[in-house]
Structure 1
Amino acid sequence: MTESAQPNNPLHGKTLEFIVKQLVWHYDWPELGRLIRIECFLNNPSLKSSLKFLRKTDWARKKVEKLYLDTFH
């Protein structure tokens, strides 16, 4: 799929890992856990555990994607 295939999708080409790293860089884990109240951000957070949870939990991934868009777009 080319970039032009989804011209109106601001998340196109951005991996979940990239999105989470950007949010952690911008907010840090404590603030991210305050903004999105999920256990993987609140209790001993790590990129690996967060990605594992977000990949299998659609509602949480959508919240992370929305926060990313609200923050950077």
Structure 2
Amino acid sequence: MSEQKKNDPLHGKTLETILNELVAHFGWAELGYKIRINCFVSDPSIKSSLKFLRKTPWARKKVEDLYITICK
């Protein structure tokens, strides 16, 4: 395995796993405050959030970036 992949906190993580870990760490209310996305604020669920994040690259990037900050 390359050195870059070993140091990448996203390597081997699914979007669902990342989202579940963020919700467990922050809760929906705090997550919605940190990343202003309606699916985190208005009747949030993993399923609806995944659907939105998979179709919206800029939102997915924000989620991944936040995940990286809590992994450090």
Q: TM-score, normalised by structure 1?
A: 0.90
Q: What's the RMSD between the two structures over aligned residues?
A: 1.0
Match of 1:64 in 2: 63
Matched, 1:46 2:45: yes
State the Cα deviation string for residues 19-60 of structure 1 (Å, max 9, x = none): 000000000000000000001001000000000000010000
**TM-aligned CA deviation for residue 72 of structure 1:** 1.7
**TM-aligned CA deviation for residue 7 of structure 1:** 3.3
State the identity %: 61
| Secondary structure in 2 matching 1:21 | helix
Q: How many residues align?
A: 70
The answer for unaligned runs of 5 or more in structure 1 is: none
List 4+ stretches of structure 1 deviating above 4 A.
Answer: none
- One-letter amino acid matched to 1:57: T
CA distance in 1, matches of 2:52, 2:29: 17
CA distance in 1, matches of 2:26, 2:7: 26
Q: TM-score, normalised by structure 2?
A: 0.91
